[in-house]
């Protein structure tokens, strides 16, 4: 067992961890000792997995070697965190080593709880059961789409919140419906979206636009339906109704294709740690991203308690705030409450069409471009397929922070 010390320890080498490390390296004194704890050898641009599942983006383009993304001068500890010990300014690693810190940045991401759906782990990757939430299965989604024929039934599921990229469960439903339309099969197929939430999308402005998209495709939208079991052999999916008037009632649907978005939660070592709130998330101030109890601990990304939509775009706005506040804390200055809950969901509604949903806390719509944000646009498709991946690899993960501001004063509603 070894003990090491670093000025800043970042737990998690995903989007949040690499972005914070790169930004700190650009803005902090060069002698600041930074380490990232990350066991994975590969780093994925996960927002493109919807496109992989839709047959328009190669999986290999979403992957880079983790070590190649770690900024120069930052130590990569290839290990996994096992236990947070904030009272000792320490993290216990799976290897038994202990790393201590002056400042901790906790961004370990989420875990996919496949086993919370009965029968799902054994069903994935065969018999029409697929998911874009894993690199292991995203390509199989495209295979499933291509096997649909006249009379086929395709189901798309969404669990209870929170989970990452809340738009993804219906993005692939629209790409599938658009594929069927192009093949002349849509009217003879049954496409159904089942969501455990009470509406199609959490922001009412965009929910109205998406309701129109679903109607255009003839897609059924079934709210308050939570997937609880999959029988791959007989191709049946069982849903439990979570609305009060029918709570606990179960319905079973046949399928030819079943795209599953699994329930998600913070890693177990987070849930059991002193950093977690009652719901199991790392308890932070939603504007400064500093822990509510431990002044030298910051968190961002999917495992943080801030009530924003869990997207890469949210991390893009959170990371500069975390970096500024670490440096301000080091200098004894007041923290910057600069994160306003911004998130973005580029909602693919067809091949070549995207609604760019941008919003902050409270569901307020805050577009970046001076365009009606409720409209499907080709330029948004280009941003999704080409612009955002380039920005991710060559700008965001390099610690560059400047981006056009989102319009917090926008108040229009012209999607009708």
- Based on the number of CB atoms within 10 Å of its own CB, is 415 exposed (0-12), middle (13-18) or buried (19 or more)? middle
- Residue in the structure block whose two tokens are 């930004």: 23
CB 352 within 8 A of CB 378: yes
CA distance 317 to 145: 35
Indicate which residue of 107, 130, 144, 345 is catalytic: 345
Residue 165 bears catalytic tag: yes
397 with 389: CB under 8 angstroms? Answer: no
- Whether the ω angle into residue 282 lies within 30 degrees of 0, i.e. cis, is no
Rounded Cα distance, 118 and 224, in Å = 18
Strand ranges for 107-203 from DSSP E: 111-112, 129-130, 153-158, 190-195
| CB neighbour burial string for 220-239, b if at least 16 within 10 angstroms, e if fewer | ebbbbbbbbbbebeebebbb
Separation between Cα atoms, residue 304 and residue 78, nearest integer Å? 22
Are the C-beta atoms of residues 364 and 204 closer than 8 Å to each other?
Answer: no
User: Which member of 107, 144, 165, 189 is catalytic?
Assistant: 165
Cα(222)–Cα(197) distance, integer angstroms: 9
**Which ranges in 222-364 belong to alpha helices (H)?**
268-271, 312-330
Catalytic residues: 165, 345
């Amino acid at each position: 067992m070894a003990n090491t010390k670093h000025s800043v320890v970042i737990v998690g080498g995903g989007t949040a961890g690499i972005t914070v490390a790169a930004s700190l390296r650009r803005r902090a004194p060069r002698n600041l000792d930074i380490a990232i704890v990350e066991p994975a050898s590969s780093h994925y641009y996960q927002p493109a997995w919807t496109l992989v599942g839709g047959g328009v983006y190669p999986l290999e383009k979403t992957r880079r070697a983790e070590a190649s993304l770690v900024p120069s001068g930052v130590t990569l500890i290839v290990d996994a965190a096992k236990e947070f010990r904030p009272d000792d300014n320490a993290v216990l690693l799976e290897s038994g080593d202990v790393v201590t810190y002056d400042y901790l940045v906790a961004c370990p991401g989420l875990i996919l709880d496949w086993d919370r759906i009965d029968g799902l782990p054994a069903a994935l990757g065969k018999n029409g059961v697929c998911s874009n939430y894993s690199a292991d299965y995203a390509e199989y989604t495209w295979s499933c789409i291509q096997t649909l024929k006249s009379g086929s039934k395709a189901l798309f599921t969404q669990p209870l919140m929170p989970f990452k990229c809340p738009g993804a469960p219906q993005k692939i439903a629209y790409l599938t419906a658009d594929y069927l339309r192009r093949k002349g099969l849509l009217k003879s197929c049954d496409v159904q979206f089942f969501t455990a939430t009470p509406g199609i999308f959490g922001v009412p402005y965009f929910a109205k636009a998406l309701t129109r998209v679903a109607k255009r495709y003839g897609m059924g939208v079934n709210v308050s339906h939570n997937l609880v079991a999959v029988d791959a052999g007989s191709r049946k999916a069982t849903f439990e109704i979570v609305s009060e008037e029918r709570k606990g009632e179960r319905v079973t649907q046949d399928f030819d294709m079943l795209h599953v978005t699994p329930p998600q939660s913070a890693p177990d070592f987070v849930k059991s740690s002193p950093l977690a709130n009652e719901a199991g998330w790392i308890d932070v101030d939603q504007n400064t991203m500093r822990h509510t109890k431990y002044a030298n601990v910051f968190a961002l990304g999917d495992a943080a308690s801030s009530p924003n939509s869990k997207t890469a775009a949210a991390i893009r706005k959170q990371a500069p705030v975390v970096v500024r506040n670490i440096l301000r804390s080091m200098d004894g200055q007041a923290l910057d409450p600069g994160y306003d809950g911004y998130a973005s969901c580029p909602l693919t509604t067809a091949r070549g069409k995207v609604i760019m949903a941008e919003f902050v806390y409270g569901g307020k719509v805050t577009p970046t471009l001076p365009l009606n944000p409720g409209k499907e646009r080709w330029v948004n498709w280009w941003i999704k397929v080409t612009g955002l991946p380039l920005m991710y690899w060559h700008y965001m993960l390099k610690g560059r922070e400047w981006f056009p501001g989102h319009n917090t004063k926008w108040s229009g509603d012209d999607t009708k």
